[in-house]
Amino acid sequence: MGQTMMAVVAHAGRTAQNTFTLDEVPVPILRPRDLLVRVRAVSVNPVDTKMLKRLPDGGSITLGYDAAGVVESVGAEVTGFTSGDEVYYAGDNTRPGTNAELHAVDERIVARKPATLDWAEAAALPLTTITAWESLFERLRLRADSTGTLLIVGGAGGVGSVMIQLARALTGVTVIATASRDDSRAWVRELGADHVAGHRDLVAEVAPLAPDGLDWVFSAHTPGNIEAYASLLRPFGAIVAIDDDPGSILPLKPKAISFHWEYMFTRIINLTPDVAEQGRLLAATAGLVDEGRLRSTLTTTLHGLNPATLSAAHELIGSGSSIGKIALTVQ
């Protein structure tokens, strides 16, 4: 019989109190490029709640896509890491998740943890940072010398909170972030947004802040907003979206506005030739953090990785009122 470990398993179709259980499961068998990581902290993202909702009743899954921890052992073809390395990463949604004692992950999407962050602060960053980085620099193709105006819809969320900082640190663009409550408006200003707008009537709120029009839109809330984006964007502008089902994008055609999807798991689930770009961008992010140019977006820490804390974290995510990121430490 192989080695076992404890993992928090999520079950579909159960009451909220019984959704998560602490189960004994097999220790992952490493693939040649895998690291086996002893998990020290994880964070919870909207993708966790979406994956659980998509399971059929009676289905179960170990969730978790962000982690920070210590390398316990390595696969036969690993070249970049060794036992004892402190790492952080966002994982692969086709494999068991990080809500476990030990987790297997491909070394190419892993980087060494920022030295100036604790475990929870580091675990809060990978998935949202990869999403924000790929959105800005690969989908929208912003550069260090880019100028113009970027609208971040969902500025106080996990991705928006990183994107504001990356845009300020690595480009010359003006950032407008949407936020509706006093605390979320204060949060996005603290992170470096040049302007803050409400999201209930985007055209009325944003147009006075960008009288010459927007150049780019990052959208975490696309359904119902396409016509507003078409009105606000300049001809040949661009949108990158991370949510589902935007509806018809035909209103974008008269201005030849381009529409892009960002999905941070694309590289690893398709094993694209440049899959290691995610490890490299996380390494660059660690450098920015340790230089004081980027901060963790952690706002809530729960202690203990167990059914009760995961249930509480999912409830906070589901409320739609959380700011920044929620992390759980392993006690």
The string of pLDDT tens digits covering residues 157-197 is 999 999 999 999 999 999 999 999 999 999 999 999 999 99
Asked whether residue 279 is domain-assigned, the answer is no
Torsion of CA 82, 84, 86, 91, to 10 degrees: 60
* CATH number of 183's domain: 3.40.50.720
**210, 221: one domain:** yes
Asked whether residue 275 is domain-assigned, the answer is no
- Write out the two tokens for 233: 């964007």
Predicted confidence at residue 102, as pLDDT, reads 98
Question: Which is nearest to 120 in space by CA: 85, 69, 62?
Answer: 69
Asked whether residue 103 is domain-assigned, the answer is yes
CB atoms within 10 A of CB 247: 12
**181, 99: one domain:** no
**145, 95: one domain:** no
**77, 99: one domain:** yes
CA atoms within 13 A on the CB side of 263: 11
**90, 200: one domain:** no
Question: Which is nearest to 67 in space by CA: 93, 95, 37?
Answer: 37
Output the average pLDDT for the chain. 96
**105, 28: one domain:** yes
Query: Is the pLDDT assigned to residue 303 strictly greater than 60?
Result: yes
The share of the chain scoring above pLDDT 70, in percent, equals 100
Asked whether residue 282 is domain-assigned, the answer is no
Radius of gyration of the chain from Cα atoms? 20
Task: Report the domain count for the chain.
Answer: 2
Average pLDDT over residues 134-155: 97
Asked whether residue 274 is domain-assigned, the answer is no
Question: Which is nearest to 97 in space by CA: 286, 305, 315?
Answer: 305
The pLDDT-based confidence of 318 (bands split at 50, 70, 90) is confident
Query: Which residues, at least 6 apart from 177, have a Cβ–Cβ distance to it below 8 Å?
Result: 151, 152, 155, 156, 160, 164, 188, 193, 195, 196, 197
Last residue of a domain, one of 206, 235, 261: 261
**104, 159: one domain:** no
Query: Is the pLDDT assigned to residue 16 strictly greater than 80?
Result: no
| Residue range(s) defining the domain that contains residue 100 | 4-125+296-329
Question: Which is nearest to 241 in space by CA: 267, 265, 223?
Answer: 223
Predicted confidence at residue 1, as pLDDT, reads 52
Predicted confidence at residue 319, as pLDDT, reads 82
Q: pTM higher than 0.85, yes or no?
A: yes
Last residue of a domain, one of 236, 261, 286: 261
* CATH number of 60's domain: 3.90.180.10
Asked whether residue 288 is domain-assigned, the answer is no
Phi-psi region of 271 (alpha: psi -120 to 50; beta: other; left: phi over 0): left
